[in-house]
């Protein structure tokens, strides 16, 4: 039975997260930070604070003493969801790959690192922290990679549908000044172009999101300004650009992404998205994205360190430890601050309309925990770990799936609503789960 003291100690851990978020929200509304300045803070969070925070948590676990049942429950729940969504996509008339991916993000990928660890620790004690860290590790290493794969698979499928197969796009890349007269080629080129642009966008994570969603003009002005020096490399134009400034942007992106893109874009698009060589290309693109994401390094380095240190009993030298914690200590607060900045930059809290928002909330706060409960009981979890497992599934939406959704332009409004509106309503919902499960 949960008493008032338990509840108070949970509030003690959670309210500061919301205070920080609100502070950021208010400072944008009061014009303390310009959009560019918000971009700087978000970029700091994406590149330094959060990866160092993940590293710090992951490197402290004992990978030889993982809770295998919890890991199994987590895996089973996600695979169950995937199977259901796969069947729906292929067998139902309403089924679509697009919505399957979004539903997967919504129902299985909560915010474990920033919200989960402090919340679950305050609810179930310090020793349950390691369960949450295990969830973080699995999410970073397995589930985000799978999600990226799904996005890239969809991208490849759409590219084939758009180009209708048979256009060798790499030709138009190698020949800068001559542009094919075929309208179709232009279009498919645009898709590739967009794709390359999007893969650049990945670098900036949530930064560009904030800059571009709300106040596009100054953000573009800044980008053009900052990167002018790269422009001289070569000038390369396409007919599909709607305005000269859009074209300039493409040129820049092209310049920066030139070599990388070459390796990725040799479509020979006659193949189906499921063919082995297409799969190889998709996997290549996934790797390319993972290599550019600081969180990948944080997870892999953290896990490697954990494996090595537990095997050979090595400890991090204190100087190294302190060098990481000096910035990772900033991670939690800064991540919440960044979320508040993002919230304030959105024109509406519910961007996707009330109906979609309601579906999203059901997926996040009802379907997700329900599937997790079934899977957990199925693999034999009982007692506190079962409670932890269900409550962590009812946390607000994770940020990374939103960043991907934005990057691939797949229902970003739904995911943004899930993150923002989800944060607001998650506290009572998560507390309700906590109280009900504690009865």
The footprint of a copy of itself (CB under 8 A) covers 9, 11-13, 15-17, 19-20, 23, 27, 31-34, 36-41, 43-44, 47-49, 207, 218, 221-222, 225-226, 318-319, 322-323, 325-327, 329-330, 332-334, 336-337
The minimum distance between CB 256 and a copy of itself, in angstroms, equals 11
Q: Which residue number, 233 or 326, has a Cβ lying nearer to a copy of itself? A: 326
Q: Which residue number, 44 or 236, has a Cβ lying nearer to a copy of itself? A: 44
Q: Which residue number, 330 or 410, has a Cβ lying nearer to a copy of itself? A: 330
Determine the Cα angle at 287 with ends 52 and 209, to 5°: 60
The minimum distance between CB 7 and a copy of itself, in angstroms, equals 12
Q: Which residue number, 33 or 297, has a Cβ lying nearer to a copy of itself? A: 33
The minimum distance between CB 62 and a copy of itself, in angstroms, equals 24
Mapped onto helix, strand or coil, the DSSP state of residue 110 is: strand
> What does the DSSP assignment read for 20-64?
HHHHHHHHHHTTSS-HHHHHHHHHHIIIIIHHHHHHHHHTTS-GG
The minimum distance between CB 249 and a copy of itself, in angstroms, equals 16
Q: Which residue number, 8 or 87, has a Cβ lying nearer to a copy of itself? A: 8
Are 236 and 178 in contact, with CB atoms under 8 Å apart?
no
Cβ neighbour number for residue 403 with a 10 Å cutoff:
23
Are 342 and 210 in contact, with CB atoms under 8 Å apart?
yes
Are 395 and 115 in contact, with CB atoms under 8 Å apart?
yes
Return the structure tokens found at 315. Answer: 């400890």
The minimum distance between CB 17 and a copy of itself, in angstroms, equals 7
The minimum distance between CB 179 and a copy of itself, in angstroms, equals 31
Mapped onto helix, strand or coil, the DSSP state of residue 180 is: coil
The minimum distance between CB 327 and a copy of itself, in angstroms, equals 5
Q: Where would I find the H helices in 175-293? A: 183-204, 206-214, 216-226, 244-264, 276-292
Q: Which residue number, 162 or 222, has a Cβ lying nearer to a copy of itself? A: 222
Instruction: Encode 111-146 in three state secondary structure.
Output: CHHHHHHHHHHHHHCHHHHHHHHHHHHHHHHHHHHH
Are 349 and 421 in contact, with CB atoms under 8 Å apart?
yes
Q: Which residue number, 13 or 279, has a Cβ lying nearer to a copy of itself? A: 13
Cβ neighbour number for residue 307 with a 10 Å cutoff:
15
């Amino acid at each position: 039975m949960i008493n008032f003291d338990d509840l108070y100690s949970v509030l003690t851990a959670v309210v500061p997260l919301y205070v920080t978020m609100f502070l950021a929200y208010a400072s944008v509304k009061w014009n303390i930070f310009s959009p560019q300045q918000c971009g700087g803070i978000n970029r700091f969070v994406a590149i330094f604070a959060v990866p160092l925070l993940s590293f710090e948590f992951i490197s402290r676990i004992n990978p030889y003493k993982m809770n295998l049942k919890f890991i199994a429950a987590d895996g089973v729940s996600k695979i169950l969801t995937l199977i259901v969504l796969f069947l729906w996509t292929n067998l139902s008339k309403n089924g679509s790959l697009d919505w399957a991916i979004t539903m997967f993000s919504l129902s299985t990928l909560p915010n474990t690192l920033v919200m989960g660890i402090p919340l679950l620790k305050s609810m179930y004690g310090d020793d349950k922290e390691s369960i949450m860290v295990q969830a973080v590790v699995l999410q970073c290493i397995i589930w985000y990679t799978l999600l990226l794969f799904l996005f890239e698979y969809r991208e490849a499928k759409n590219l084939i549908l758009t180009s209708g197969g048979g256009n060798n796009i790499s030709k138009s890349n190698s020949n800068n000044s001559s542009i094919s007269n075929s309208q179709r080629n232009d279009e498919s080129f645009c898709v590739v172009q967009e794709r390359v642009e999007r893969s650049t966008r990945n670098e900036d994570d949530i930064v560009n999101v904030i800059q571009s969603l709300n106040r596009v003009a100054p953000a573009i002005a800044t980008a053009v300004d900052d990167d002018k020096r790269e422009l001289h490399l070569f000038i390369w134009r396409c007919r599909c650009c709607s305005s000269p400034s859009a074209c300039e942007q493409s040129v820049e992106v092209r310049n920066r992404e030139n070599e990388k893109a070459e390796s990725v874009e040799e479509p020979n698009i006659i193949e189906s998205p499921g063919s082995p060589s297409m799969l190889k290309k998709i996997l290549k693109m996934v790797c390319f994205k993972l290599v550019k994401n600081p969180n990948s390094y944080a997870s892999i380095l953290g896990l490697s360190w954990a494996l090595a240190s537990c095997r050979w009993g090595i400890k991090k030298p204190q100087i190294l430890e302190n060098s990481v914690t000096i910035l990772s200590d900033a991670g939690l607060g800064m991540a919440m601050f960044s979320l508040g900045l993002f919230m304030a930059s959105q024109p509406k809290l519910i961007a996707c309309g009330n109906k979609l928002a309601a579906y999203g909330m059901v997926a996040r706060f009802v379907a997700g925990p329900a599937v997790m409960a079934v899977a957990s009981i199925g693999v034999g979890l009982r007692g506190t770990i079962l409670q932890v497992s269900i409550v962590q599934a009812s946390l607000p939406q994770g940020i990374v799936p939103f960043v991907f959704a934005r990057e691939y332009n797949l229902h970003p409004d739904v995911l943004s609503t899930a993150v923002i509106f989800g944060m607001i309503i998650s506290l009572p919902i998560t507390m309700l789960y906590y109280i009900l499960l504690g009865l």
